[in-house]
Structure 1
Amino acid sequence: MKESCDAIDLAAYCARIGHDGELGPTLETLRRLQARHVAAIPFENLDILLGRGIDISPRAVDAKLIGARRGGYCFEQNALFKRVLEAIGFQVEGLLARVLWMAPSDAPPRPRTHMALRVVVEGRPWLADVGFGGNAPVAPLAMDVREVQATRHETYRVTPSEEGLLLQARLDGEWAPLYDLSLQPQLPVDYELPNWYTATHPSSHFRHQLSVARTTPEARYALRNARLTVRTPAGEQTRRELGVGELETVLRETFGLPVAEGWRAVLERAVAAERETA
Structure 2
Amino acid sequence: MDDYLRRIGADRPARPDAAALRDLQLRHLQAVPFENLSIHLGEDIVLEEKALLAKIVEARRGGFCYELNGAFAALLRDLGFTVSLLQGRVFGGDGRLGIPYDHLALLVEAADDTGRWLADVGFGDHAHHPLLFDERGDQSDPAGTFRIVEAAEHGDLDVHRDGKPQFRLETRPHSLDDFRAGAWWHRTSPESHFPKSIVCSRLTPEGRITLSGRKLVTTVGGERQEQPLADDAAVLAAYRDHFGLDLDRLPPDPRPAGTG
Kindly indicate whether the alpha-carbon contact (under 8 Å) linking 1:225 and 1:273 is maintained by their aligned counterparts in 2: no
Work out whether 1:166 is the aligned partner of 2:123.
no
Q: Give the counterpart letter for 1:168 in structure 2.
A: H
Kindly indicate whether the alpha-carbon contact (under 8 Å) linking 2:47 and 2:177 is maintained by their aligned counterparts in 1: no
Q: CA deviation at 1:179?
A: 1.0
Deviations 1:143-192 (A, max 9, x none): 2222322223333222221352212223xxxx332211111111122112
Shift of the 24–220 alpha-carbon distance from structure 1 to 2, 3 Å rule, reads same
Q: TM-score scaled to structure 2, two decimals?
A: 0.89
Work out whether 1:111 is the aligned partner of 2:100.
yes
For the residues of structure 1 that align with 2:14 and 2:41, how far apart are their CA atoms?
Answer: 36
Deviations 1:39-80 (A, max 9, x none): 111111111111223112112111110001111111111011
State the match for 1:201 in structure 2: 189
Kindly indicate whether the alpha-carbon contact (under 8 Å) linking 1:225 and 1:274 is maintained by their aligned counterparts in 2: no
Q: Give the counterpart letter for 1:276 in structure 2.
A: T
State the match for 2:179 in structure 1: 191
SS of alignment partner, residue 276 of structure 1: coil
State the match for 1:46 in structure 2: 37
Kindly indicate whether the alpha-carbon contact (under 8 Å) linking 2:56 and 2:62 is maintained by their aligned counterparts in 1: yes
Unaligned runs of 5+ in 1: 1-9
Q: Give the counterpart letter for 1:177 in structure 2.
A: P
Q: CA deviation at 1:25?
A: 1.1
For the residues of structure 1 that align with 2:202 and 2:97, how far apart are their CA atoms?
Answer: 30
SS of alignment partner, residue 174 of structure 2: coil
State the match for 1:74 in structure 2: 65
Superposition map of 1:64-143 within 5 A: 64-100=55-91, 102-105=92-95, 107=96, 109-121=98-110, 122=112, 124-133=115-124, 135-143=125-133
SS of alignment partner, residue 181 of structure 2: helix
State the match for 2:258 in structure 1: 275
SS of alignment partner, residue 61 of structure 1: helix
Kindly indicate whether the alpha-carbon contact (under 8 Å) linking 2:136 and 2:149 is maintained by their aligned counterparts in 1: yes
Q: CA deviation at 1:21?
A: 4.8
SS of alignment partner, residue 155 of structure 1: strand
Q: For the aligned residues, what is the CA RMSD?
A: 2.2
Q: CA deviation at 1:11?
A: 0.7
For the residues of structure 1 that align with 2:25 and 2:99, how far apart are their CA atoms?
Answer: 27
Q: Give the counterpart letter for 1:259 in structure 2.
A: L
Shift of the 23–243 alpha-carbon distance from structure 1 to 2, 3 Å rule, reads farther
Q: Give the counterpart letter for 2:179 in structure 1.
A: Y
Structure having the higher helix fraction is 1
Q: CA deviation at 1:108?
A: 6.3
Kindly indicate whether the alpha-carbon contact (under 8 Å) linking 1:198 and 1:206 is maintained by their aligned counterparts in 2: yes
Deviations 1:248-278 (A, max 9, x none): 22211111211213x2x52xx26x647237x
For the residues of structure 1 that align with 2:93 and 2:142, how far apart are their CA atoms?
Answer: 26
Shift of the 147–230 alpha-carbon distance from structure 1 to 2, 3 Å rule, reads farther
Kindly indicate whether the alpha-carbon contact (under 8 Å) linking 2:201 and 2:209 is maintained by their aligned counterparts in 1: yes
Shift of the 88–252 alpha-carbon distance from structure 1 to 2, 3 Å rule, reads same
**More deviation in 58-67 or 144-153?**
144-153
Kindly indicate whether the alpha-carbon contact (under 8 Å) linking 1:53 and 1:199 is maintained by their aligned counterparts in 2: no
Corresponding pairs, count: 255
Shift of the 244–110 alpha-carbon distance from structure 1 to 2, 3 Å rule, reads farther
For the residues of structure 2 that align with 1:88 and 1:188, how far apart are their CA atoms?
Answer: 19
Q: CA deviation at 1:241?
A: 4.2
Kindly indicate whether the alpha-carbon contact (under 8 Å) linking 2:107 and 2:117 is maintained by their aligned counterparts in 1: yes
State the match for 1:214 in structure 2: 202
Work out whether 1:235 is the aligned partner of 2:225.
no
State the match for 1:15 in structure 2: 6
Unaligned runs of 5+ in 2: none
For the residues of structure 1 that align with 2:140 and 2:97, how far apart are their CA atoms?
Answer: 31
